Each structure stands twice: as structure tokens, then as C-alpha cells.
Amino acid sequence: MEIIEDLRRMRSFSSSSRGKGLRVVLVPTMGYLHDGHRELLRTGRQSADLLILSIFVNPAQFGPKEDLGSYPRDMESDLSAARDSEVDVVFAPRREDIYPVGYRTYAEVEGLSDRLCGASRPGHFRGVATVVLKLFNITLPHAAIFGQKDFQQLLIIRKMAEDLNLGVEIIGVDTVREPDGLAMSSRNSYLSAEERKAARCIPASIEEAQREFEKGVRHAPAIVEKVKKVIEMEPLAVIDYIKICDGSTLEDIESMEGGAHLFLAVRVGRARLIDNCPIGLERRPLL
Ligand code: PAF
């Protein structure tokens, strides 16, 4: 396994692999790898001749009061997970190479970026889109893999790839969950034992939404109310948003006749946890 920090070296490595007719697949991450990332790597490995894992904690996607400084990092353990997942190249650029002094250029996907997490974290998706575009330009992938846990991010990257004719196939992978249904996230490491138990209210509330839909409820605000009640029963949980939206435009919807997509952001202790799930007749149990 190669470990590459240098941008030019990474680009020429990928470029010569493409020249040999190899399929290059990128899994972009901020490190602190868990089973969710392993699943992205497993999916990538299936079709890649050259599988690249990028590890870069991207300052541009954190707000001034957010957790950039304390975001969990463990390069040794990430490298060992990368080896286990048969990664060919770990690309771990330096911050000053990605954003040198005087950096001025940002990518923005209008509309999709302003809703849900974009409303709570202004500028977040501008930072995500920018770094992903840069990672694509450096690693030159045929395909890139993203988790559905960050569903809004996946839609935004897909739209950017389409609008800017990037020629990169964007592949979404199902959310990987803990045995009690909590979506895997590097930020779960912020939770104390008590908070970890409390976070169980998130998958439980999604299950409640699904049950309401199955009972025949199709009025989105009524289902949002039920979800809210489940979370409010947990004193350690603070709701950021609960929304039922169209799963492609992310616009709020009232009638769920054709199914819909539930999105939540909930703070438990200092962790801001997000989750989402399609709500429809084909039940996809979380456990
Ligand atoms: O999902 C993440 O870990 C990050 O947002 C990404 C896509 C690696 C960009 O920094």
C-alpha cells in the first residue's frame, strides 16, 4: 500500500494508472475509520483496479464554532484499516497544500446546499463540494463512493458531478448501523456511555415514522410530530431539525402518498448526529 501526501505525486500516480487502462476508484473520508467506511471501501474494491482512500479533515466544511480542533483523528489505526480493506493508495494531503495561503476558489451547489444541514451549518456544503472537487482533480477517479448516511452530501456531490461534467460516477452506499440501529459515525466517539444509550432515540424515532406510514398516515407534519415525541422523551437529546422531504429535491412535502424521505439532526451531548431514511411501503428495518 502506497501512502502519498504530495498532490503532484498523487495526480501522476492516478494519471499513469488511467493511462494503463486501470479503473480508479476514490473513497473520500476525514479518517477515524469505522465499519461504515469499511463498507465504502468494500464497495470500491469490487470495481477498482486502483482503490484510493483519501484522509483529510477539511477545515472548509467546519463553521467557526464547530469541532474542527477536536475532530477525532487516528492515522495509525486508519492505515491498518486501509490495509485490511486492501486499499492501494492512501492519499493524506497536508492542509497547507490543499488550501495554500491566498486560496480563493470555492464550489457551490445552489438550492440543495441551503436546506437541512445547510441551513444549520451555513457554508458547510460549500466546503464539502470544494474539497471533493479538488480531490477529484488530484486523484482523477472514474468513480467515487459516498455513504447514504450523509444523504444530502451525496445528492450535492452527484449534482456537482453532473452540472460540471466531471465524468466521475458517484456511487452511494447504504448506511451501516450499530446493533441497536444507531448510524455509524466518527462523531459517535464523542458520546459518553449514557449519551450513547440516549442516542438510541434516533433510530427508534425513524422506526416510529415507518410504523405510522404503515398504519396509513400520509400527512408529513403528523409523522414529524410523532418522530419529535419519541426524541423529546429522551432528556439528553436536543432536536436540530426533523424534516420530511422529497428524496431528490430535498423540498418539504406535506403529502407522502408516493413515499418520502425523513431527515433528522439531533444533538446528544456535544455530538451532532444526523440520520435519514426513506419512508414508504417497502419497509427497510433499521435493525
Ligand atoms: O463525508 C465526509 O467524510 C466528508 O464530508 C468528505 C466527503 C470526505 C469531504 O471532506
The pLDDT score that the predictor gives to residue 286 is 76
pLDDT of residue 222 exceeding 70: yes
Residue 181 backbone class (left: φ over 0; alpha: ψ -120 to 50; beta: rest): left
Q: Could you tell me which CATH class the domain 2-173 is placed in?
A: alpha beta
Query: For the chain, which residues make up each domain, given as ranges?
Result: 2-173, 186-279
Report the C-alpha gap between 216 and 264 in whole angstroms: 22
Mean pLDDT on 203-208: 97
Q: What is the grid cell recorded at 148?
A: 447514504
The pLDDT score that the predictor gives to residue 258 is 82
pLDDT of residue 283 exceeding 70: no
pLDDT band at 197 (very low <50, low <70, confident <90, very high): very high
How far is ligand 1, taken at its centre, from the CA of residue 132, in Å?
8
CA 8 to chain centroid, in Å, comes to: 27
Q: Is the CB of 128 under 6 A from ligand 1?
A: yes
Q: Is the CB of 27 under 6 A from ligand 1?
A: no
CA geometry: angle at 161 spanning 91 and 273, to 5°?
Answer: 70
Mean pLDDT on 85-110: 98
For residues 105 and 130, the answer to whether their CB atoms sit within 8 Å is yes
Cβ-based neighbour number of residue 16 at 10 Å: 11
Q: What is the mean pLDDT of the chain?
A: 97
Cβ-based neighbour number of residue 143 at 10 Å: 17
Annotated catalytic residue 37: yes
For residues 263 and 240, the answer to whether their CB atoms sit within 8 Å is no
Stretch among 47-51, 179-183, 192-196, 258-262 having the lowest mean pLDDT: 258-262
Topology adopted by domain 186-279: Pantoate--beta-alanine Ligase; Chain: A,domain 2 (3.30.1300)
- Percent of the chain past pLDDT 70, that is, above it, reads 98
- pTM of the predicted protein model: 0.97
Taking CA atoms only, the protein residue closest to ligand 1 atom 5 is: 128
Q: Is the CB of 43 under 6 A from ligand 1?
A: no
Q: Is the CB of 36 under 6 A from ligand 1?
A: no
How far is ligand 1, taken at its centre, from the CA of residue 6, in Å?
19
Report the C-alpha gap between 178 and 176 in whole angstroms: 7
Candidates 47, 51, 53, 49; CA nearest to 21 is 49
pLDDT band at 280 (very low <50, low <70, confident <90, very high): confident
